[in-house]
Chains A and B, each alone.
Chain A
Amino acid sequence: MRTPVVTFILAALIGLGLLFGAGVENGPNPFITLGVMNGFVYGLVALGLVLVYKGTRVFNFAQGEFGTLGAYFLFFFLTKGLPYWLGIVLAVAGTLVIGLGLERVVIRPLIEAPRINVLVATIAIALALIGIEILIARIEPRSLDSILPALDAAGDPAGITIFGLTIEPQRLIALGVFGGLGGLLAWFFSRTDLGLAVLATSQDSFATKVVGIGVPRMSRFIWGLSAALGAIAGILYVPLTGTLTPAVMTVNILIPAFTAAVIGGMTSLPGAFIGGTIIGVVQSVGGWAGGHFTLGEQTWNLIIPGVEQAMIFVVLLLVLLARPQGLLGKEA
């Protein structure tokens, strides 16, 4: 019930911000737009985090690296001359296989272990994946092609402009995919037997055993799905940054995505997107304010570096201290 209300308040706040921002010279409007756009990327990664948390009550620190892995797979298949769509299919499939393998080898043996052990295990997985990326692909940056280039054949921007910001085709595609996947998952968890079974597993593993739903099967399903979601996020996001490097998704996306998921309540799928939007806008507008009020007066000794990172920490701390169950969560 709370979801529409929160969504409405958030939309109204953003709208008001844009309205007032329009009158400001070098104002925040492009930054608000940028923040909303980034928010959807955070939201999709947060979705994977929420999924794993719903199913297994664990924070999956490897979620970001599933994205990097997907991007590297796609890069590899593209250099082999495969068409883009086939590259995407194979990259998602490859990440899926690795996700399933990790679930079998690492997560399943720890299924009865305390949650914090599983958390440490996912940290180990993330670090190992980063290490393998460094060993195989080297640390030097690569370039991952966009689905559609940002400039058309004539060299003009190919995107559309809203509120002072031109949005490139890649991001528009990403938006569509993220929205579609979000809707699909929401439907899946509320309307299908399998989806409801997954939720049941997360509530009480003993009870589900009694009614005949295999916990290992659920665990496998959840990890496979979140690995695939992670890969899709990576494939869509990495071309936007221009550089494919080891740990790119963990460094740039995982922390804001976690924060988004926590703001959303860790168990709420729409909450993941709402949280993503909030953190995206706060981060971006924070960056705008940090630059806006110090530029032009040679006051760069006063600049607080890394405003974007600082905003995440502050938001997360405030949310957890004030409302540990998040905006839309049922329990902490």
Chain B
Amino acid sequence: MMFSAAACGQKEGVADQASGLTGLPAGAAVDPETGALIDPETGALIDPETGEIIDPGTTGGTTTTDDDEVASNDDDPETPSDPEAPSGGDATGVTASTIKIGIHAPITGAAPVPSQSFQKGKDLYWNYLKSKNLTINGRNVEVVFRNDEYNPSQAVTACREMVEDEKVFLLVGVAGTDQIQACAKYAASVGVPYVSAGVTEIGLESLPNYFAIWLSYAQQGPLLADLLTDQLGAVGEKNGFVWFNTPTFRDGHDSFTSAMGQKGAKVDYDKPVAKTAGASEAQAIATELNQRGIQNVHILTSPTFFIQLAQAAVNQGYRPQWVGYGLTMGIDTVANVACRNSRSIDNARFLSPFPAFVDSNKFDPNFRAAGGTDDIMFGLWGMSKVIGEMLKAPGKELTRERFIYYNQNSKPYKTGVLPDVAFNGGHMGGTSMHLMRADCANNRYVTEASFKRDF
């Protein structure tokens, strides 16, 4: 049932090199909040006096505490020797001492990410590496950022600017399916590698430059159906699915409904909504859901629409179990807005690629030590760790062609925040997800389970 590093046959990280403390598990670190120690193998919190496990933490997930796992300060980096690997190629954005990468995300639009957290979070991990004198094969990473306004055509413009003006080595899409799809296609047309959040697979799985670093929606569908049927009692209950009617959600839609069918659960209310829908549509849909007595609702829309829908529902005294895919619904900003007035999303459960901010120390204490102050930064931290690994893979000779080749055929990346990433010759690297639960008493999300492949 549960996923553990060993079960996956992964190489142990370098995490068990050295922690200075004796008599404790190798690589243990100190939780700055509680003073407890963290077991790098299980992520459990351990009382330093008694050695007892305080918090089993992350059901068997991996935790890293040692920087060496991701970045090395080795002067003579080991260059992978693969006779079939391309040599040379396009090294735009790479100098002797820096690698420039470009990120696009919505900081305005229907799914706005708080811009200050984003501006700070995008550099947090790389600045941390710099402060520790750690590098990616001798190079530091520099990040440029453009707002895609939650609009695919703006996303293409943003990505073009980063490729043509800023000459970035690769592009990163953090959130927003349509924007990621549009930008990834553009990136493919100009041969720029694209590291992506797990979203749709439509039109992306065949792009040679595309790398999704967590489960796509189509892969999350069965996982969510599993959660609903095994844990939330969806079999025999009435289930609904409200989703933005965009072609890029079709695979996420179909995989969920068919997985529900296989689990013996019915989707009684299947409602596509226009992406431009507002408060009046939210009211109508809440009324429909309520009238039909739907108990579990899978929601795949923008966070703003979700908040409006949840509010309209709670106004009618109707409180279904909300569930959904990662990542934008499961961020603390959403909980903060939706919980404040009437606790409309209490106990909502969303899959997520990274754990809740409140639990960040269980997964990587370096994050808060480096100055991380919210979950957006934590997510970016987690993504940056994976990207760091990916940039390291081709060795010292970093070109776009070698980046693509080595990442498709690399060993799994274990970073402890995001679930392990393994491309196995393909483009979808996700292996498992975290599960978040809305804790409206504290206006935030908490991590309910970690590194789950099924429930």
Contact = CB atoms under 8 A, between A and B. Distances in A.
Interface string B87-120: 0000000000000000000011100111100000
Contacts, number: 145
Contact of A31 (B284, B304, B308): B284
Nearest to B115: A138
A298 B270 contact: yes
B337 interface: yes
Contacts of B333: 140
A164 B331 CA distance: 34
Interface in A184-218: none
Q: Which 6 A-B pairs have the closest CB atoms?
A: A157-B317, A242-B311, A305-B274, A287-B284, A143-B340, A166-B317
Nearest to A26: B291
Contact of A287 (B272, B281, B307, B337): B281
Contacts of B109: 139
Contacts of B245: 300, 303, 305
A239 interface: yes
Contacts of B282: 241
Given A30-B290, A252-B279, A149 B337 contact: no
Interface stretch (B165-173, B174-182, B341-349, B379-387): B341-349
A285 to B, nearest CB: 10
Given A157-B316, A168-B317, A242-B312, A151 B280 contact: no
Given A168-B316, A306-B276, 20 more contacts: A26-B291, A34-B287, A140-B333, A141-B303, A141-B307, A141-B337, A144-B341, A150-B342, A159-B316, A164-B291, A242-B307, A242-B308, A242-B337, A243-B279, A252-B278, A291-B271, A291-B284, A295-B270, A296-B268, A296-B270
B307 A243 contact: yes
A306 B312 CA distance: 17
Contacts of A308: 280-281, 284
A143 B284 contact: no
B318 A166 contact: yes
Nearest to A306: B274
Interface of A: 26, 30-31, 34, 38, 134, 138-146, 149-151, 156-159, 161, 164-168, 170-171, 239-243, 245, 248, 251-252, 283-284, 287-288, 291, 295-296, 298, 300, 303, 305-306, 308
Contact of A166 (B281, B285, B316): B316
B277 interface: yes
Nearest to B334: A141
A241 B273 CA distance: 17
Contacts of B14: none
Interface string B48-64: 00000000000000000
Contacts of A251: 278
Interface of B: 107-109, 112-115, 245, 268-274, 276-285, 287-288, 290-292, 303-304, 307-308, 310-312, 314-318, 333, 336-338, 340-344
Nearest to B342: A150
Given A139-B109, A291-B284, A308-B281, A149 B290 contact: no
Most chain B beta carbons < 10 A, residue from A134, A142, A143:
A143
Contacts of A283: 280
Contacts of A157: 316-317
A158 B310 CA distance: 16
A242 B280 contact: no
Nearest to A292: B288
12 contacts: A30-B290, A134-B108, A139-B107, A141-B337, A143-B340, A149-B341, A150-B314, A161-B317, A288-B287, A296-B270, A305-B277, A308-B281
